[in-house]
C-alpha cells in the first residue's frame, strides 16, 4: 500500500433542531444538571465529537448497503473492496487491520454561533452555552406525565465547522469518496445525537467543499 494523498472535506454543520450529544456528569460541575451535553473542558463550549458524526454515518451507510444482519450484530468482513470497512475501518481485533480512510475531526462552534451562545444564553440567562429542556414520559393509562428530567441541548440555528480528512491509497478509494459524501446526505435525512425520534438532531450541511492534497 502506498499513500497517494488526502481529500479534505470541509463545511458547516447546522443544527436545524436541538442537538443533544451527551457528556459526562463527572467531568463538569453545573448545579445539578442531569444530562449535560459534551463540552470542551477548556472553555465549556459544546462541540460535536468526530466519533459521533462517524458513527452515525457509518450506521446509515451500513443500513443502506445491506451490511446489517437481522440479529443486529456489528458488520465485519475481510473484503478489501467493502466500502464500509475501507472508509470507516474495522474494530475487530481478529481481522487484518487495514487503515481506515476517513478521519472525522471534532466540529467546533463557528465564530457567530459562539458569540450568539455567549450573549443570548450565557450572559442573559446564565446558561452554559446550551438550553435546558424538560422532558417526561407520558403514562398513557393514567394520562399523566412521569419521570421529569432535564435534558441539555444545543439550540437550533447553531453552526459548527466540520472537516473530514480522507486518505487515498488507490483508485478504489477515489471512487468510494462518493459513498462518504452520500453519507452526509443520509445524515441530513436522519438524526445526529440523542432523542432523534423525539425531533432532536436534525442537521443540515452547508458550503461543503473538497480539496486534494498530494503527499
Ligand atoms: Zn466490510
pLDDT of residue 31: 54
Rounded distance, CA 155 to CA 16, Å? Answer: 8
Q: How far is the CA of 177 from the centre of ligand 1 (A)?
A: 16
**How far does the centroid of ligand 1 lie from the alpha carbon of residue 62, in Å?**
9
CA of 158 to the centre of ligand 1 (A): 35
Distance 65 CA to ligand 1 centre (A): 10
Distance 88 CA to ligand 1 centre (A): 9
- How far, in Å, CA of 161 to CA of 110, rounded? 6
Distance of CA 78 from the midpoint of ligand 1 (Å): 6
* pLDDT less than 50: residues of the chain: 27
Phi, psi (degrees; rounded to nearest 5) at 25 = -70, -25
User: Which residues are placed with Cβ below 5 angstroms of ligand 1, an ion?
Assistant: 77, 82, 84-85
Longest dimension (CA), the chain: 65
Residues contacting 27, CB < 8 A, separation 6+: 41
Instruction: Give the residue among 102, 89, 5, 64 at the shortest CA–CA distance from 186.
Output: 64
pLDDT of 26 reads 55
Question: How far away, in angstroms, is 79 Cα from ligand 1 center?
Answer: 6
Per-residue pLDDT tens digits for 26-75:
545 555 577 889 999 899 999 999 999 999 999 999 999 998 888 877 78
* Alpha carbon of 202 to ligand 1 centroid (Å): 28
Residue 178 CA to ligand 1 center (angstroms) comes to 17
Strands 144-153 and 131-139: antiparallel
Calpha distance 24→123 (Å, rounded): 24
Cell of 208: 461543503
> What's the CA-to-centroid distance between 146 and ligand 1, angstroms?
43
CA of residue 207 to ligand 1 center, whole Å: 30
Centre of ligand 1 to C-alpha 67, Å, is 8
Distances (CA, A) of 19 to 14, 113, 153, 184, 195: 10, 14, 5, 16, 9
Question: Residue 174 C-alpha to ligand 1 middle, in angstroms?
Answer: 17
CA of 167 to the centre of ligand 1 (A): 17
What is the per-residue pLDDT for 18?
Answer: 96
The predicted pLDDT at position 25 comes to 60
Nearest-10 crossing angle of helices 50-64, 171-189: 100
Amino acid at each position: 500500500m502506498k499513500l497517494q494523498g488526502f481529500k479534505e472535506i470541509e463545511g458547516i454543520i447546522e443544527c436545524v433542531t436541538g442537538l443533544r450529544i451527551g457528556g459526562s456528569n463527572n467531568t463538569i460541575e453545573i448545579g445539578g444538571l442531569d444530562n449535560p451535553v459534551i463540552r470542551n473542558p477548556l472553555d465549556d463550549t459544546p462541540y460535536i465529537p468526530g466519533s459521533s458524526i462517524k458513527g452515525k454515518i457509518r450506521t446509515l451507510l451500513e443500513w443502506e448497503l445491506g451490511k446489517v444482519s437481522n440479529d443486529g450484530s456489528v458488520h465485519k468482513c475481510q473484503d478489501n473492496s467493502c466500502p464500509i470497512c475501507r472508509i470507516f475501518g474495522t474494530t475487530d481485533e481478529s481481522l487484518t487491520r487495514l487503515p481506515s480512510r476517513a478521519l472525522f475531526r471534532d466540529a467546533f462552534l463557528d465564530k457567530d454561533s459562539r458569540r450568539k451562545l455567549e450573549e443570548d444564553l450565557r450572559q442573559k440567562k446564565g446558561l452554559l452555552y446550551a438550553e435546558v429542556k424538560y422532558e417526561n414520559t407520558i403514562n398513557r393509562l393514567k394520562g399523566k406525565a412521569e419521570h421529569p428530567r432535564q435534558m441539555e441541548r444545543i439550540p437550533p440555528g447553531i453552526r459548527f465547522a466540520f472537516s473530514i480528512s480522507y486518505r487515498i491509497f488507490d483508485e478504489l478509494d477515489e471512487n468510494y469518496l462518493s459513498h462518504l459524501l452520500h453519507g452526509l446526505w443520509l445524515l441530513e435525512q436522519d438524526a445526529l445525537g440523542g432523542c432523534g425520534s423525539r425531533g432532536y438532531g436534525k442537521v443540515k450541511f452547508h458550503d461543503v467543499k473538497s480539496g486534494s492534497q498530494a503527499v
